[in-house]
């Protein structure tokens, strides 16, 4: 599968500031991150699809004790978009992000010690 | 139906240990062998759990090393790794092998060192623990292990009104139980106020909502139903279920259901031909206070949403109608990752034999162990009973 939607495609897009999900070619369900086989219908091969850039916080935590290479505190949450959920860093200027708050995609975050990218959302 | 029987148990204290892994495990294993009275030559195989020895102390290929340390070199030995469910999975595979007639009598156990004795501090251990979350889609966000369970618990609080006070009650209860367990990492009581005033690790979890990093080992001897009566105090394993779930968190449909725990529970209850109502007590995986609330619902002790109020009202205390974690749980007994699942089997066995000392429950006949791994994407449920 030359056109497989895989980690590299997802991460490369994210580094460009583009949020891609995977859409099953068979059951048409969309997922927030790539996966080789559709979890819902077992069809092989998801195609990349742009995810909606706004959503709400499904759940969120303020991490005070961070792993080596990260500096706390910061917020990590599961963001519920129109078509999928994914784990993301959530940035807030002053307010504490809460479940149900509106968020907007704000690009890729490369804070991990190995430089790997994570989705970043900002509180609206 | 009896699938296999536990005929010997042993465990070290959980806490800080400076011995190398083979010697630490050897203590627990030799205690289990002595407790059972098994002739070492009758041990057919070794089912071993260690989650992160490679990362924490550059020590791998441990199954043959540990077998050789205790005079068992030569027998088949295998190592399991399923994050925090590591030695419960070793136990499951051992029970299945004995039940299937592949082996008659086996040694099962786990060992781990997670304290600074390994040379790793809190930041490094937080990073190593985070390795059980998705490498590509979760770790780059900075998500930690307390963070994973914080995400599940926050949603549970949102959906059901579970409160931080209710979470704190889990810690208070488990610390109290730990004071009656001479092998517990923490031997002191705490209060709701002390929990709520301790620093935040990942909200809603304060430091006192989190289990400690511990060192320790636990081991059990498992034999077949046919051979069990040739030992002094067999306890029967009537059900062992295991299930997995979707990873990463974003693919799960209902994050606080911890669906693998529900699926594994259904399997274990079906094998044991029992129900939650007929289970007298449980040892559950309270890596964080919120995890005990979710587990208490997943194993059917309480309806969804009622785990928090049940903890607050004392129903899960040692003299409550639904005792959970009489050992003190991970919270007070401690959590040497690869030893935790086996230590739950030790506690169930001692409770069912009536040998649990100051923390002994009132004549229990059936107990359940709930050991989860990662973001709850692996869960093993074991049901043990007084031999009928
Ligand atoms: Zn599909």
Q: Look at residue B21 and give its three-state secondary structure.
A: helix
Residues of the domain holding A35: 7-50
* Cα–Cα distance for residue pair B269/B100, rounded to 1 Å: 19
* A1 within a domain of the structure (yes/no): no
* B202 within a domain of the structure (yes/no): no
Backbone phi, then psi, for B60, in 5-degree steps? Answer: -130, -175
* A30 within a domain of the structure (yes/no): yes
* Chain B CB contacts of A66 below 8 Å: 123, 126, 142, 144
Residues A118 and A60 both lie in one domain: yes
Residues A76 and A103 both lie in one domain: yes
The total of structural domains in chain A comes to 2
* B165 within a domain of the structure (yes/no): no
Q: A1 falls in which pLDDT band (50, 70, 90)?
A: very low
Residues A66 and A98 both lie in one domain: yes
Q: What is the pLDDT of residue A95?
A: 84
Residues A72 and A15 both lie in one domain: no
* Chain A CB contacts of B142 below 8 Å: 63, 66-67, 70, 72, 74, 76, 89, 111-112, 118
* A118 within a domain of the structure (yes/no): yes
Helices (H), chain B: 21-36, 53-57, 62-69, 86-99, 122-129, 145-160, 164-179, 192-197, 225-228, 259-272, 289-298, 307-312, 329-333, 337-353
Percent of chain A with pLDDT over 90: 92
Residues A30 and A84 both lie in one domain: no
Q: What is the pLDDT of residue A3?
A: 66
Low-confidence ranges of chain B (pLDDT < 70): none
* B28 within a domain of the structure (yes/no): yes
* pLDDT tens, position by position, B264-322: 999 999 999 999 999 999 999 999 999 999 999 999 999 999 999 999 999 999 999 99
pTM of the model: 0.97
By C-alpha distance, the chain B residue nearest A85 is: B250
Residues A36 and A80 both lie in one domain: no
Q: CB–CB of A99 and B246 under 8 A?
A: no
Residues A37 and A58 both lie in one domain: no
CATH of the domain at B321: 3.40.47.10
**Of B45, B60, B132, B131, the residue nearest B91 (C-alpha):** B45
* Chain A CB contacts of B147 below 8 Å: 61, 63, 76
Residues of the domain holding B361: 4-119+211-386
The total of structural domains in chain B comes to 1
* Cα–Cα distance for residue pair B292/B300, rounded to 1 Å: 12
Tell me if ipTM is over 0.90.
yes
Residues A86 and A116 both lie in one domain: yes
* pLDDT tens, position by position, B40-76: 999 999 999 999 999 999 999 999 999 999 999 999 9
B159–A contact, CB cutoff 8 A: no
* B26 within a domain of the structure (yes/no): yes
Residues A113 and A65 both lie in one domain: yes
* A87 within a domain of the structure (yes/no): yes
Q: Please, which residues have CB within 8 angstroms of residue B78's CB and are 6 or more apart in sequence? A: B45, B46, B47, B48, B63, B90, B93
Maximum pairwise Cα distance, chain B: 56
Number of H helices, E strands in chain B: 14, 11
Q: Please, which residues have CB within 8 angstroms of residue B328's CB and are 6 or more apart in sequence? A: B174, B175, B177, B178, B179, B180, B181, B184, B186, B359
* Cα–Cα distance for residue pair B174/B168, rounded to 1 Å: 10
* B112 within a domain of the structure (yes/no): yes
A42–B contact, CB cutoff 8 A: no
* B160 within a domain of the structure (yes/no): no
Tokens, residue A88: 């993301």
CA of B254 to the centre of ligand 1 (A): 18
* B368 within a domain of the structure (yes/no): yes
Residues A60 and A100 both lie in one domain: yes
How far is C-alpha B134 from the geometric centre of its chain's CA atoms? Answer: 22
Residues A66 and A102 both lie in one domain: yes
Residues A70 and A19 both lie in one domain: no
The CA R_g of chain B, rounded to the nearest whole Å, is 19
């Amino acid at each position: 599968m030359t056109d497989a939607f895989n980690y590299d495609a997802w991460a490369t897009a994210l580094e460009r500031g583009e949020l891609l999900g995977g859409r099953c070619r068979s059951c048409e369900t969309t997922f927030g991150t790539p996966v080789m086989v559709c979890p819902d219908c077992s069809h092989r091969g998801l195609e990349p699809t742009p995810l909606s850039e706004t959503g709400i916080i499904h759940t969120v935590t303020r991490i005070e004790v961070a792993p080596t290479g990260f500096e706390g505190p910061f917020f990590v949450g599961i963001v519920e978009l129109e078509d999928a959920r994914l784990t993301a860093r959530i940035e807030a200027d002053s307010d504490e992000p809460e479940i149900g708050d509106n968020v907007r995609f704000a690009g890729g975050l490369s804070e991990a010690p190995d430089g790997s990218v994570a989705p970043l959302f900002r509180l609206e | 139906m009896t699938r296999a029987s536990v005929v010997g148990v042993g465990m070290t204290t959980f806490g800080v240990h400076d011995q190398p892994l083979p010697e630490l495990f050897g203590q627990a294993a030799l205690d289990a062998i002595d407790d059972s009275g098994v002739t070492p030559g009758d041990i057919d195989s070794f089912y071993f759990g260690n989650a992160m020895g490679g990362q924490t102390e550059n020590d791998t290929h441990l199954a043959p090393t540990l077998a050789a340390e205790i005079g068992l070199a030569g027998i088949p030995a295998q190592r399991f790794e399923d994050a925090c469910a590591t030695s419960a999975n070793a136990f499951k595979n051992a029970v299945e092998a004995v039940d299937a007639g592949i082996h008659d009598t086996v040694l099962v156990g786990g060992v781990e060192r997670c304290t600074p004795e390994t040379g790793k501090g809190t930041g490094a251990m937080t990073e190593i623990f985070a390795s059980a979350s998705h490498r590509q889609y979760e770790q780059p966000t900075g998500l930690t292990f307390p963070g994973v369970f914080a995400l599940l618990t926050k949603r549970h609080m949102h959906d059901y009104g579970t409160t931080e006070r209710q979470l704190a009650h889990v810690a208070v209860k488990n610390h109290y139980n730990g004071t009656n367990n001479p092998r517990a990492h923490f031997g002191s009581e705490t209060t709701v106020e002390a929990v709520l005033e301790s620093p935040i690790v990942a909200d809603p979890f304060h430091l006192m909502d989190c289990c400690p990093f511990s060192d320790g080992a636990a081991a059990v001897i498992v034999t077949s139903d046919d051979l069990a009566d040739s030992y002094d105090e067999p306890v029967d394993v009537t059900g062992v279920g295991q299930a997995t779930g979707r990873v990463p968190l974003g693919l799960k449909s209902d994050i606080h259901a911890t669906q693998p725990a529900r699926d594994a529970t259904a399997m274990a209850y079906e094998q044991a031909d029992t129900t939650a109502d007929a289970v007298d007590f449980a040892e559950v995986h309270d890596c964080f206070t919120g995890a005990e609330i979710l587990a208490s619902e997943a194993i059917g002790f309480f309806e969804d949403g009622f785990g928090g109020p049940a903890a607050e009202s004392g129903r899960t205390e040692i003299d409550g109608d639904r005792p959970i974690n009489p050992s003190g749980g991970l919270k007070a007994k401690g959590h040497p990752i690869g030893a935790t699942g086996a230590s739950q089997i030790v506690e169930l066995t001692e409770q069912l034999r009536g040998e649990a000392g100051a923390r002994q429950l009132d004549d229990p006949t059936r107990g359940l162990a709930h050991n989860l791994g990662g973001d709850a994407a692996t869960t093993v449920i074991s049901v043990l009973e007084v031999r009928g």
